[in-house]
Amino acid sequence: MKVCNDSDRYSWQNPWQALRDIGLKTGMTFVDVGCGSGFFSLPAAKIVGPEGKVYGVDVNEEAIAMLVQKARAEGLENIVVTAGKAESKILCDACADIVFFGIVLHDFEDPLAVLRNARRMVKPDGRLVNLDWKKTYMSLGPPYEIRFSADHASRLIRNASFRIQSVRLLDYHYVIVAQPS
């Protein structure tokens, strides 16, 4: 599996702004499901600081190795990552202030299983955040056919025992914020 070059991604997405917009703060616990090589995990680790923690999971072992290498190089000791399928990984029980899906929900073999695992990881007063591509034709992102509409993603999230707090539409993406029901 090829590791995506994050430098191109910075031209159309600012992970720092996205994380600030979802309310990530010092001392929080952040779970990045489908973390890849750390596009969101590394800035999250800096935002939550040494008092906080970042957990990540990705099926791509090469991407996980890159994330570990980058974290070490930056002196970040608050990141715990694992390689494996998110459908079968619970990184912590009721520990997360935010369980985050950064443009990946449409990529999982069983998105509902992944969301049910997220439900187990999120604190009772925590939030699930799904940032994903709009289901429209555009030159960026995955093929139209595999994208989830905001309505479809919201239904999946509700079926995993969350209640939708908000749905915000951006230029290329939507952001769904949900809380455990």
Tell me the pLDDT band of 10, cut-offs 50, 70 and 90: low
Residue 84 has pLDDT above 80, yes or no: yes
Spatial separation of the C-alpha atoms in residues 129 and 178, rounded to whole Å = 6
Spatial separation of the C-alpha atoms in residues 100 and 174, rounded to whole Å = 13
Domains of the chain, start order = 15-180 (3.40.50.150)
The predicted model scores a pTM of 0.93
Per-residue pLDDT, averaged over 17-32, amounts to 96
Residue with tokens 């680790």: 45
Residue 21's Cβ-count burial label (10 Å; 0-12, 13-18, 19+) is middle
What is the pLDDT, as a whole number, of residue 92? 94
Q: pLDDT of 91-114, one tens digit each?
A: 999 999 999 999 999 999 999 999
